[in-house]
């Protein structure tokens, strides 16, 4: 998901370098490895009590070399969860709409950005995410403190700020490849820790 440029901060160059390294590693993964990882990631994520007990899950459709989410979206829906997916707005904020199955996704071209698969159901407004019990976040890495490194734009920073303003406290879960759980990621004041990470080989929870 494309995000707003970060502000001037001493960690920004360090973050940019780490992002380039992680994105290059993702692009180097062969398609068959990505497909196997997506299947294993779905199985891992579904073991999380944060998802098992959720009624509404805000998720996303993976793009490019991101860890695949399509199988997980369908599994959540089959388990009776209400799944919300993002719609990218012109200012890079996110609206939300219900996921109604693979045939409900439409490819949308956003000027200057990647083509994204978005739900074709009725938009529910940016505040719809505040009703989610769990939010699945894209990312590039997470460290042992639960600090997440995003793509560097800010769409999900806005989501997290909106949740905080609303006093909403959904479980925050980032979906990654195994190698993207690292010792430490650079941190800025606006960064929020997540409660758990799911990877193809398993899950790590950072809070009880």
H/E element, 70: helix 70-78
Domains of the chain, by residue range, sit at 12-205
Residues 12-205: name the CATH superfamily.
NagB/RpiA/CoA transferase-like (3.40.50.10420)
| Max CA pair span of the chain | 45
The answer on pLDDT for 6 being more than 60 is no
Question: How far apart are the C-alpha atoms of 174 and 182, rounded to whole Å?
Answer: 13
**Are 69 and 75 in contact, with CB atoms under 8 Å apart?**
no
What are the phi and psi torsion angles at 131 (to 5°)? Answer: -95, 0
Q: pLDDT tens digits, residue range 141-196?
A: 999 999 999 987 789 999 999 999 999 999 999 999 999 999 999 887 777 899 99
User: pLDDT-based confidence at 12, cuts 50/70/90?
Assistant: low
Question: How far apart are the C-alpha atoms of 177 and 111, rounded to whole Å?
Answer: 29
User: pLDDT-based confidence at 113, cuts 50/70/90?
Assistant: confident
The answer on pLDDT for 9 being more than 50 is no
pTM for this prediction: 0.91
- Let me know how long the chain is: 208
Q: At what angle do helices 31-45 and 70-78 cross, to 10 degrees?
A: 30
């Amino acid at each position: 998901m494309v995000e707003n440029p970060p502000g001037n901060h001493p960690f920004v160059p360090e973050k940019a370098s780490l992002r380039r390294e992680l994105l290059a590693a993702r692009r180097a993964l062969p398609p068959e490895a990505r497909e196997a990882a997506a299947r294993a990631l779905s199985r891992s994520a579904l073991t999380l009590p944060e998802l098992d007990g959720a009624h509404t899950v805000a998720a996303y459709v993976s793009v490019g070399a991101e860890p695949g989410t399509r199988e997980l979206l369908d599994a959540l829906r089959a388990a009776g969860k209400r799944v919300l997916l993002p719609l990218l707005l012109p200012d890079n904020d996110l609206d939300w709409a219900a996921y109604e199955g693979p045939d409900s996704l439409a490819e949308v071209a956003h000027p200057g950005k990647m083509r994204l698969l978005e739900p074709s159901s009725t938009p529910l407004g940016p505040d719809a995410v505040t009703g989610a019990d769990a939010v699945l976040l894209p990312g590039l890495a997470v460290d042992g403190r639960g600090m997440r490194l995003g793509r560097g734009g800010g769409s999900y920073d806005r989501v997290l700020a909106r949740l905080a303003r609303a006093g909403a406290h959904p479980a925050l879960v980032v979906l990654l490849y195994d190698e993207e759980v690292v010792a430490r990621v650079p941190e800025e004041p606006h960064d929020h820790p997540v409660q758990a990470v799911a990877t193809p080989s398993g899950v790590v929870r950072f809070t009880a």
